[in-house]
Amino acid sequence: MQIRLNGDSFDVPNGCAIADLLQTLQLDNRYCAVEVNRMVVPREQHPSTRLKESDEVEIVTLVGGG
C-alpha cells in the first residue's frame, strides 16, 4: 500500500506499524518524532499504530553537531 512519507510516495506492506516503518528506514525511535495525518504519535504507541492507505507520515530526526 502507499503512504506519503515526508511528502513523497512510499510503499509499505499492509498492516505495517510505525515501528516497522522505522525499522525499515533504519531509524531509532529514541531519536525521532513521528506524525501521522498531522497528529504526533507517542513513542510507546509506535508498535501498535498501524498505517493505512494514503496516510501522511512525517518523521523528524535529531541531528547532532557543533
Per-residue pLDDT reduced to its tens digit, 11-47: 999 999 999 999 999 999 899 999 999 999 999 999 9
C-alpha span between 37 and 41 (Å, rounded): 10
pLDDT for position 39: 98
CB 5 within 8 A of CB 36: no
Report the pLDDT value the prediction gives residue 58, as an integer from 0 to 100. 98
Q: What is the reported pLDDT for 66? A: 63
Domains and CATH numbers, the chain: 2-61 (3.10.20.30)
Residues 66, 14 contacting (CB under 8 angstroms): no
